[in-house]
Amino acid sequence: MSKTNNTSLDTLVTDFILLGLSHPPNLRILLFLVFFIIYILTQLGNLLILLTMWADPKLHALPMYILLGMLSFLDMWLSSVIVPRLILDFAPASKAIPYGGCVAQLYFFHILGSTECFLYTLMAYDRYLAICQPLNYPVLMNGRLCTILVAGAWVADSIHGSIQATLTFHLHYCGPNRVDYFFCDIPAVLRLACADTTVNQLVTFVDMGVVAASFFMLILLSYANIVHAILKIRTANGQRRAFSTCGSHLTVVTVYYVPCIFIYLRAGSKSPLEGAVAVFYIVVTALLNPLIYTLRNQDMKSALKRLTAVQGAANENE
Which of 49-53, 59-63, 156-160: highest mean pLDDT?
156-160
pLDDT (mean) for 214-235: 82
pLDDT (mean) for 55-77: 84
Q: Residue 251: which pLDDT band, with cuts at 50, 70 and 90?
A: confident
User: What pLDDT is attached to residue 309?
Assistant: 67
DSSP state of 26: G
b/e string for 111-124 if b means 16 or more Cβ within 10 A? bbbbbbbbbbbbbb
How far is the C-alpha of 254 from the C-alpha of 91, rounded, in Å?
Answer: 32
The DSSP annotation for 108-133 comes to: HHHHHHHHHHHHHHHHHHHHHHHHH-
At a CB cut-off of 8 Å and minimum separation 6, what does 233 contact? 239, 242
Predicted TM-score (pTM) of the model is 0.84
pLDDT in tens, 130-181: 888 888 888 888 888 888 988 998 998 899 899 999 999 999 898 788 998 8
User: What pLDDT is attached to residue 314?
Assistant: 53
CB 290 within 8 A of CB 46: yes
Would you list the domain boundaries of the chain? 2-301
User: What pLDDT is attached to residue 267?
Assistant: 59
How far is the C-alpha of 306 from the C-alpha of 308, rounded, in Å?
Answer: 5
pLDDT in tens, 266-291: 655 566 567 777 887 788 888 888 87
Which of 31-45, 81-95, 292-306: highest mean pLDDT?
31-45
More confident site: 236 or 137: 137
Q: Residue 83: which pLDDT band, with cuts at 50, 70 and 90?
A: very high
Q: Residue 310: which pLDDT band, with cuts at 50, 70 and 90?
A: low
Q: Where are the beta strands (DSSP E) in 167-304?
A: 178-179
Q: Is the pLDDT of residue 6 over 50?
A: no
Q: Is the pLDDT of residue 42 over 90?
A: yes
User: What pLDDT is attached to residue 5?
Assistant: 40
User: What pLDDT is attached to residue 136?
Assistant: 87
Give the whole-number percent of the chain exceeding pLDDT 90: 19
2-301 in CATH: which number? 1.20.1070.10
SS3 15: strand
More confident site: 153 or 62: 153
